[in-house]
Amino acid sequence: MARSVTPADSAIHSMTGFGAADADTEIGRLSVEVRSVNNRFLDISMRMPREFNPLEMNLRTLIKQTISRGKIDLTIKWRINPAIAPRLEINAEALEAYARQIQDLQHQLNDNSPLPLTYLLELPGVTGGALSARVEEETIWECVQRVTREALARLADERRKEGDVLAADVRANLQAIAAEAETVREGAADIVQRYRERLMKKIEKWREQSNATVDEGRLEAEVLFFADRSDISEELVRLGSHLDKFNAMLDQPKGAVGRDLDFLTQELLREVNTTGSKARDTSVVNSVLAMKGLVEKIREQVQNIE
């Protein structure tokens, strides 16, 4: 019995996967393959016997019930049941009309070459065919749908397994970012003091060279200005909030979350970059560089999440 292809809301899905199914049906042997790769939107391509062309919209609807994003390639192969093989119908009048026109042209061109019957049979309107009248369209759709559902279910299983791997990697990188952010937070408390010390050393050196006095009030104002400009507490709070939201979406996703995670990744990078530019202290440089590298890894992983 074919499995349901209703997408699970409680799991992360990759956009990469493959599913296949085949079965003997009333209309013959059907083989269905579905491949998917990452794509910004849902893009569906189909290769199937022309007899199934009327089913295209139904098949698209079936795919959309399972997949919301990705480049999907659906291939259907059919070995027809001999009992319902098409009947060949020849339009004799069209065949004779084509033959006369071609022969008249040959006569004008002094062309005595024989006129192949196979060529005439391929001309538009000469031949036609239809499945046995005993086969209804509903029967054809039921057979195709049943095997396609099975292939889609197997594709969904593979995308879910790959999604689990992606989610685990992303969680590990989020945890590493949180650890680096804590390192930055611990070191931030001493940034202003280190700036004061560096400034005082420069002033002392200048005093020795010029024997000048320094306005202590202006010195303190400069330190306070630096402290305000280099305050990264808000950036670290927002970074932590983004990390919490990221983990929550991975733990309890509702439908396709890839686009939302991509947006959050950009927000993570924004806060990390701002932290690095505001702190401007060697004590946080390594942590900021590490966080930027981790965010880039997350970005690459998120690109393949549905």
**CATH code for the domain of 227:** 1.20.120
Q: Let me know whether 152 and 222 are in one domain.
A: no
pLDDT digits 0-9 by tens, 147-201: 999 999 999 999 999 999 999 999 999 999 999 998 888 776 666 566 555 655 6
Q: Let me know whether 172 and 57 are in one domain.
A: no
Q: Let me know whether 92 and 187 are in one domain.
A: no
Of the candidates 107, 128, 149, which is a domain's last residue? 128
Q: Let me know whether 70 and 104 are in one domain.
A: no
- Provide the domain limits for residue 147: 17-84+134-159
Token code pair at residue 40: 């910004």
Rounded to whole angstroms, the Cα distance separating 34 from 69 reads 14
| Sign, CA torsion 215/221/224/230 | negative
pTM above 0.75, yes or no: no
Rounded to whole angstroms, the Cα distance separating 302 from 262 reads 6
Q: Let me know whether 107 and 222 are in one domain.
A: no
Kindly state whether residue 219 falls inside one of the protein's structural domains. Answer: yes
Q: Let me know whether 166 and 271 are in one domain.
A: yes
CA 56 centroid distance within chain:
23
CATH of the domain at 60: 3.30.230.10
Rounded to whole angstroms, the Cα distance separating 241 from 268 reads 10
Which 3 state secondary structure label does DSSP give 3?
coil
Which one is predicted more confidently, 70 or 282? Answer: 70
Is there a contact between 258 and 302 (Cβ–Cβ < 8 Å)? yes
- Would you say residue 39 has pLDDT above 90? yes
Radius of gyration of the chain (CA): 35
> In the structure, what pLDDT confidence band is assigned to residue 4 with cuts at 50, 70 and 90?
very low
**DSSP one-letter string for 113-139:** ----HHHHHTSTTTEEEE--TT--HHH
Rounded to whole angstroms, the Cα distance separating 50 from 9 reads 35
Kindly state whether residue 10 falls inside one of the protein's structural domains. Answer: no
Kindly state whether residue 2 falls inside one of the protein's structural domains. Answer: no
pLDDT of residue 127: 73
Which one is predicted more confidently, 126 or 50? Answer: 50
Helices (H), the chain: 56-64, 92-108, 117-121, 137-188, 191-210, 216-229, 233-251, 258-279, 282-302
Kindly state whether residue 46 falls inside one of the protein's structural domains. Answer: yes
